[in-house]
Amino acid sequence: MVLQIAFTPLELAPKQFTVGDTIRVTFTFKYAVGADTAITIQAVPYQYRLGILDRIGASAGHKEITLAKATEPVELQESIDFTLRDIAAGTYGLLVEVPGTTYGARADDVLIVTEAPSLWTGMFGMMMMLMMLGMVGMVVPALTGATTEEGEAEGGESLS
């Protein structure tokens, strides 16, 4: 059985995403195969590290597709969803491929990934505001010379 696949080049504009976002990739390819065949296609972000294409496997999305027998090239359009996880902030390419083969298409520098805001990021502003209110609550009575109910100053001295 001979399998031939030709992916249409991915023409994508750079877009910004946050860690945790789910991305849907739609792609087109032509194939010819001598018998019904099941293949797995994956979509995965990548970067070049030291000149080597490094797939970010934790974020890969996979889809199994059954190709019907076709002696003449047949065009097929499919989509794969994948979630950005275990990935650092940065710019990544996108690779759609049949793993273990040379069949695939890629687009460089199209995924601009930012880190997801942490719980501490949102709480920091609120904590700062509460700390300032607490400090104001301690400073204002001292500045105004507030007294206790018995008519004594807070230091224990009599006002009369």
pLDDT digits (tens, 9 = 90+) for 39-53: 999 999 999 999 999
Sequence-separated (6 or more) residues with CB below 8 Å from residue 38:
64, 65, 66, 67
Band (2; pLDDT cuts 50, 70, 90):
confident
Output the pLDDT for position 45: 96
* pLDDT > 70? residue 120: no
**pLDDT, position 5:** 87
Using alpha carbons, list the distances in angstroms from residue 121 to 35, 39, 124, 126: 55, 43, 5, 10
Residue owning tokens 């400073």: 139
pLDDT tier for residue 3 given thresholds of 50, 70 and 90? confident
Task: Say yes or no to pLDDT of 60 above 60.
Answer: yes
- pLDDT for position 106: 93
How far is Cα 5 from Cα 52, in angstroms, rounded to an integer?
Answer: 24
Distances (CA, A) of 35 to 4, 76, 78, 103, 144: 12, 16, 20, 18, 90
Q: What is the pLDDT of residues 69-91, one digit of tens each?
A: 999 999 999 999 999 998 999 99
Q: Show the DSSP H helices in the chain as ranges.
A: 119-144
| Domains located in the chain, CATH noted | 3-114 (2.60.40.10), 117-154 (no CATH)
Instruction: Report yes or no on whether pTM surpasses 0.85.
Output: no
Whether 1 has a pLDDT exceeding 80, the answer reads no
